[in-house]
Amino acid sequence: MGDWWNMSREMNIYVRFASAGVAFLLLLGVAVRASTSISSERDRQTFDALLTTPIDSSTILWSKWLGSVLSFRLGWAWLGLVYGMGLLTGGLNLFAIPMLLASWVVFASVFAVIGLWYSMTCSSSMRATVLTLLTTVGLSIGHWLICIPLCYIPAAMGGRMGEDIAKIQAGVTPPAVMGLLAFSAEDFRMDFGRSEMAQLLFFCLFGVFLWAVAGLGFFFGVVNPRFRTLTGRQDFRTPEQAYRRRRPPPERYHPEPRPTVLPKNVILLEEIWEKPPPKPREIDN
């Protein structure tokens, strides 16, 4: 029994780290795929041909988003193998699988939206890919640069505020969420771990909810309107900058003809064209 418990604990540690690493690599792959979905077609000059079809702009955008999320189906087999080993050895609880899958789908959806945004706004695929990677990595783990001083200073003073801040930050970090949600049954059977695991699960699920809300707001509030403007399919077009000044209506606007002003030392000569006289006829002898 002791050997089985030790093996399950060791497998749980392996599943946590492997789940976090593999899942985050797949998320970055989704972001890169989305960052080239529009810019690559623009480089190949096939984007204009796509816009000639009667397909709505929202449908085109949704299709590219879905294709980016589903582009790494083979990677799911790798992740599923890790979860399967954890289930067989007791290192992963069965109830953790739905949470892990739902969290990965939410993170992948947001990463795909970020990639689509840069794919629309950047002039080249390389620039869109680099900016997408910088943004996704920054949003995923960049906030820890600010969190680490806020965590250590209260902890050095003997308070629990730093620990609570670290838990909140872990809940909005995709690799940490994918690792913390890969819990086992032993994590709840130990008396000293019940409250800690419950808090971590709450912060992880709350962080996934925040990512979902932010992704939906960014998609419907920024990306979709920008794509409609880019394709010229918006409901109300904004007039150009040159025509934004208010002008009188054409029927009320009758400009007076301006008098011709000649420069000095200029004299107009009136030319009169006269009909030339007829040629005299020759008289035959």
pLDDT of residue 75: 82
What does the alpha-carbon distance between residue 15 and residue 17 come to, in Å, rounded to a whole number? 6
pLDDT of residue 6: 73
Q: What is the pTM of this model?
A: 0.74
Match 């096939």 to its residue by tokens: 46
Res 33 pLDDT > 80: yes
**Side-chain-facing half-sphere of 86: CA atoms under 13 Å:** 29
pLDDT of residue 118: 92
pLDDT of residue 55: 77
Res 208 pLDDT > 60: yes
Q: 245: Cβ–Cβ under 8 A, 6 or more apart, which residues?
A: none
Classify residue 20 by burial, with Cβ atoms within 10 Å: 0-12, 13-18, 19+.
Answer: buried
Percent of the chain exceeding pLDDT 90 equals: 21
Q: Which two tokens stand for residue 88?
A: 């067989």
Res 239 pLDDT > 60: no
What does the alpha-carbon distance between residue 139 and residue 174 come to, in Å, rounded to a whole number? 9
pLDDT digits (tens, 9 = 90+) for 72-129: 878 888 888 988 888 888 888 888 899 999 999 999 999 999 999 998 888 888 899 9
**Side-chain-facing half-sphere of 255: CA atoms under 13 Å:** 6
pLDDT digits (tens, 9 = 90+) for 6-21: 777 888 888 889 889 9
- pLDDT range class, residue 242, cuts 50, 70, 90: very low
At residue 232's C-alpha, the angle toward residues 230 and 233, to 5°, is 110
Taking residue 54's Cβ as centre, other Cβ atoms within 10 Å add up to: 4
Match 């004299």 to its residue by tokens: 267
